Amino acid sequence: MEVNTHNQRTTTYNVVGVMKGIEEPDRYVILGNHRDAWIFGAVDPSSASAVMLELTRVLTEYRRETGWSPRRSLVFCSWGSEEYGLVGSQEWVEQFQKQLSNRGIVYLNLDMAIEGNYTVRTKSSPLLYNIGREISKLVPNPDPEEVKAGRSTVFDTWLYRNPDEKRPGYPSPCLNVS
């Protein structure tokens, strides 16, 4: 293998798209992911880039077909120069700090969306731990073998594979669901 690396300063870019909200257009739900990778490029960041691109495609198509609009503005951010130093996202937040502190509702980081076929993993701040759990109860299990075993939702399989989660009050900073 021959590697040719050039250590030089260069310009980096963020790509930001907005789907304007209909009821609260000045409130932002921000989804972000970076484009650059230095290891595991298929997992980090390419899997999340694919998810975000597909999400924007589906929402745009749905809007075109039905006239639907989100309640709040959706801001899709593709960060440049995340590896090494979070440069793209940090500079963007610094530039729009005042607007974001007044109008930002949530930031959903889509980094490493897919890490294999055994589990889906969500991480969040403590106030959001239960959201992943509750959503997983609404998702039908896509694995016929799991359904046959009596685990009809993603939550059922997650609980089966993570028995410690059954303990009352067990904190779940990382929800693993299959």
Active site residues: 82
CA distances from 129 to 4, 50, 135 (A): 44, 25, 11
Scan for tokens 């040719």, then name that residue: 4
Among the listed residues 122, 124, 73, the one whose alpha carbon sits nearest the alpha carbon of residue 99: 73
Beta strand 72-79 pairing with 24-34: parallel
Encoded amino acid at 104, one letter: G
Q: DSSP assignment, residue 23?
A: S
